[in-house]
Amino acid sequence: MLIPEILHLINCLIPAVLTTLRISNITVQIYPNKVFSDNSSTTGLLMMNSMNSSSYGHNVSTVVRDSYSTAVAKNVIVMSLGFIINYINGSLVHTFRKHQIFYMNPRYILFIHLVVNDMIQLTTTINLFVLSYIFYKINASLCCMIITFAVFTTINSPLNLAVMAVECYIAICLPLRHAELCTVKKTYILIGWIWATSAVTTLPDVFLILATKPMQFFFSTIFCERDNLFRHPLSIKKRNVSYIIYLVGVWLFLFYTYFQIFFAAKAAKSAKGDAKKARNTILLHGFQLLLCILTYIFHVVLQGLLYLFPKSPLNVSFACYIIIQILPRLVSPIVYGLRDKTFRQHLKKHLLWTSIKP
């Protein structure tokens, strides 16, 4: 007779034990009747997989939070990096605007578009990162606007880099047609197509959520993350298909242009230095592009890292955010601004407050 009573007592104690469970000194908090399905690279909180508790008829989800000191350290790191990168990028934009030689050159126009795009992307994702610590949940309409800007600019970066690689290929391999093919007008048209391509990928998710969610949803508060906002199965399938297309397409462009420039550099007898510099630039393109397109396979990368480091989910998520969202924006001004002799000479005046020597 005692065995059934003991089993009943154990079943009654399970919820109390779960609410105070600690794993590796990280508190696991229980939220009944709430299901989170999120592996976020842009926030400081990591939502673990929801667990279904059939014994009590409700869903249980665990939320792992950073300690106070860790949260402060991560926010200081992110905001410091964001300030430094945006200061450098702001100097690049100011330098671009002050000199006609830049805004009449298609290469510099594409570069400064990448810089402005990175500033928007970085500011948006850092705001989202900080908001996840301060408020945890924000208004769904505001979240939709922030996520839309973040996705737009994140998709723009690899496409812009691919276009820059093609421009470099034309300059080296088709120099006689460069002035004809790479004009200022055509450059702005290409930039418009980059944004249109991002819109085709992103706006259907917004229209789908407007059509399927009740009006009350847009006045509610939610944890702001793309997978938590655009949860419709069609949105997830469309995202996966579009990312595969972008991944394959961008890499085909890069490989083709790189090998063409590589062969042209080997065959060139004159202007050998220019061809070698262009080849090195394409290699740096490839490194930065590799970092940018990790966005397309983010979930695969994150799941793999979580499998290798199951005891550090928050640190894995933070590392992915730094590598995928911030590091590429740090590489851009180094690769295309500081390495360019003309841009570097004019940049010194605005960045270091020194006069340009004749």
Mean pLDDT of residues grouped by 10 in the chain (358 residues)?
45 40 32 33 39 35 70 92 90 85 88 92 90 87 90 88 86 86 92 93 90 89 86 86 84 81 68 60 70 75 84 86 84 75 74 48
Domains in the chain, CATH or no CATH each = 2-64 (no CATH), 68-351 (1.20.1070.10)
Instruction: Name the E strands within 142-239.
Output: 221-222
Q: Are 339 and 345 in contact (CB under 8 A)?
A: no
State both tokens at 308.
């290798």
In whole angstroms, what is the distance from residue 62 CA to residue 26 CA? 11
Residue whose pair of structure tokens reads 């990028």 in the numeric block: 89
What pLDDT is stored for residue 79 in this prediction?
93
Confirm if 29 and 62 have CB atoms less than 8 A apart.
Answer: yes
How far apart (Å, rounded) are the C-alpha atoms in residues 252 and 246? 10
Residue whose C-alpha is closest to residue 262's, from 249, 280, 239? 280
Residues whose CB falls within 8 Å of the CB of residue 263, separated by 6 or more in sequence, listed in order: none
CA distances from 263 to 231, 251, 268, 279 (A): 47, 18, 9, 10
Q: What is the pLDDT of residue 52?
A: 31
With CA atoms as reference, report the closest residue to 113 among 179, 187, 165, 203: 187
SS3 of residue 34 by DSSP: coil
How far, in Å, are 25, 182, 202 from residue 196 at the CA level? Answer: 47, 20, 10
d(CA 291, CA 286): 9
Phi, psi of 60 (to 5 degrees): -120, 130
The structure tokens listed for 86 are 């945006």
The residue type at 48: M
The length of the chain in residues reads: 358
How crowded is residue 290: how many other Cβ atoms within 10 Å of its Cβ?
A: 13
Q: Are 42 and 129 in contact (CB under 8 A)?
A: yes
Q: Give the pLDDT of residue 273.
A: 57
77: which 2 tokens?
A: 């790191």
- The pLDDT assigned to 58 comes to 40
Would you give the end-to-end CA distance of the chain in angstroms? 98
E strand or H helix at 23? strand 22-23
